[in-house]
């Protein structure tokens, strides 16, 4: 009999890649979709799996809907990837962020405890929980010091997962994922801001790329690799928490330089730094130590080097602009315009970085 997984945030970057990974291994995949959500299923279509997953109505803020989703899907594994996931928005909407990103996790855990405590649970923790940290690399035992409402909400979700594991014996695991990117990353995130803008500049559609802190350093990996680690955690007999990262950090400036170099353009001619785009509380440096995941999960953090990741993203954005994936671009752009009518203005900006 095939195994079954239930995923919140299934239409996001990680949810889409995880769905494909699980489908390729014979899983039946269910996803929770809030009624209030706009159509973000373009990622599932991009990966060719939109007709292969079953979507259930549910909301992380509503325990009763999660109980119904668990009862309807009868999952062996639950992956909680849903959240209010934008650091910038968390400053504008800290209460909403706490309720969805923080309390959403305990709602899901409680749904599992009340229906079937044998279900294995994965919580998407984030390197944003480390925040202001002095250690050059962060491990599973590095003290947390979040620097945003998003990071603080993720920290609550992280510790409530530990508490349900220790108090109720639920197989509950936290994956502390550092920044992981892909061609289906939202345009709000700095890496896609960069690769999309570089593609547009190369195609003559805009001239400048405007960013905030160019010296902030992050540990960037490929999202398609990271979902394998999520799955691997739930295959272990004993639940635990794992840092998932490459162990290497690069600055925003370095990431942008790699993208411009790929298309034969001079970064100095097009990149502008605007201090107005800085975070209220900046995190200067994050770099994870994936030693535990390498040893216990057999996970390979070096499968996709950052230069290859940048190439994948830049080429995908150029292909979109050239019309090779026009239906996806149109779907994405329509939804984006509803939220931001200036989305196609010739300047790409960002004021935050995020890990998961």
**Which domain, by its residues, includes 25?**
4-179+221-244
Are residues 76 and 208 both part of a single domain?
A: no
User: Are residue 235 and residue 254 in the same domain, yes or no?
Assistant: no
- Residue 353 resides in a domain: no
Choosing from 126, 127, 148, 356, the catalytic residue is: 126
Nearest CA to 263 out of 324, 189, 200, 192 is that of 200
Q: Does 128 qualify as catalytic in the annotation? A: yes
Same structural domain for residues 86 and 164? yes
187 with 323, same domain: the answer is yes
- In 10 A of CB 286, how many CB atoms? 23
**Residue 108 near residue 120, CB atoms below 8 Å:** no
**139 and 210 part of one domain:** no
Q: Evaluate whether residue 287 is within a structural domain.
A: no
Same domain, 160 and 192: no
Same domain, 155 and 273: no
Q: What pLDDT is recorded for position 328? A: 45
Query: How many domains are contained in the chain?
Result: 2
Mean pLDDT by 10 residues, the chain (356 residues): 94 97 98 76 95 96 97 98 81 89 97 98 96 89 93 96 98 97 93 97 94 91 98 98 98 97 96 70 83 98 97 96 57 40 35 41
In a shared domain, residues 232 and 138: yes
Residue 194 counted as domain residue: yes
Domain assignment of residue 151, yes or no: yes
Decide the pairing of beta strands 250-251 and 217-218. antiparallel
68 occurs within a structural domain: yes
C-alpha count within 13 angstroms, C-beta hemisphere, residue 192: 18
Predicted pLDDT at 91: 81
Residue 326's pLDDT is 37
Would you say residue 190 lies in a domain? yes
For tokens 């998003």, the residue is 150
Statement to judge: residues 146 and 227 lie in one domain: yes
Q: Do 138 and 82 reside in the same domain of the chain? A: yes
Question: What value, to the nearest 5°, has the Cα angle with vertex 38 and ends 33 and 44?
Answer: 65
Does 102 reside within a domain?
yes
8 Å CB contact between 277 and 351: yes
CATH of the domain at 155: 3.40.50.720
DSSP 76: S
CATH number, domain containing residue 197: 3.90.25.10
Given the residues 128, 226, 355, 356, the one annotated as active site: 128
Predicted local distance difference test score (pLDDT) of residue 87: 76
Same-domain pairing of 174 and 205? no
Is 150 annotated as catalytic? Answer: yes
pLDDT at 36: 63
In a domain, 289, yes or no: no
Catalytic residue among 30, 79, 150, 222: 150
Rounded to two decimals, what is the model's pTM? 0.88
Residues 127, 202, single domain; the answer is: no
Residue 355's pLDDT is 40
pLDDT at 34 (0 to 100)? 85
């Amino acid at each position: 009999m095939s195994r079954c997984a239930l995923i919140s945030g299934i239409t996001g970057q990680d949810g889409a890649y995880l769905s494909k990974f699980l489908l390729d291994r014979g899983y039946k995949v269910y996803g929770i979709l809030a009624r209030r959500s706009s159509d973000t299923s373009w990622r599932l279509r991009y990966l060719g799996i939109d007709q292969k997953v079953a979507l259930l109505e549910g909301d992380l803020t509503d325990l009763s809907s999660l109980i119904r989703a668990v009862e309807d899907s009868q999952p062996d594994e639950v992956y909680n990837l849903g959240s209010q996931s934008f650091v910038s928005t968390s400053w504008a909407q800290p209460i909403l962020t706490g309720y969805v990103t923080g309390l959403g996790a305990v709602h899901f855990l409680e749904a599992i405890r009340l229906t079937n405590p044998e279900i294995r649970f994965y919580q998407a923790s984030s390197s944003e929980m480390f925040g202001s940290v002095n250690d050059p690399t962060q491990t599973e035992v590095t003290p947390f010091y979040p620097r945003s409402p998003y990071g603080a909400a993720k920290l609550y979700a992280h510790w409530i997962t530990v508490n349900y594991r220790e108090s109720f014996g639920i197989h509950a695991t936290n994956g502390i994922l550092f920044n992981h990117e892909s061609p289906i990353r939202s345009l709000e995130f700095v890496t896609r801001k960069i690769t999309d803008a570089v593609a547009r500049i190369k195609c003559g559609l805009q001239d400048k790329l405007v960013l905030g802190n160019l010296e902030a350093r992050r540990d960037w990996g490929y999202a398609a690799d990271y979902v394998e680690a999520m799955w691997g955690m739930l295959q272990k007999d004993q639940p635990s928490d794992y840092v998932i990262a490459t162990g290497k950090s690069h600055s925003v400036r370095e990431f942008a330089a790699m993208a411009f170099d790929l298309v034969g353009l001079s970064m100095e001619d097009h990149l502008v730094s605007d201090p107005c785009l800085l975070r209220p509380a900046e995190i200067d440096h994050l770099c994870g130590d994936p030693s535990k995941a390498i040893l216990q999960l057999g996970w390979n953090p070096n499968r996709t080097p950052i230069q290859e990741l940048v190439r994948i993203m830049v080429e995908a954005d150029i292909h979109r602009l050239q019309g090779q994936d026009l239906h996806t671009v149109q779907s994405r752009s329509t939804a984006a315009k509803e939220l931001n009518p200036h989305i196609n203005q010739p300047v790409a900006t960002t004021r935050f970085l995020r890990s998961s």
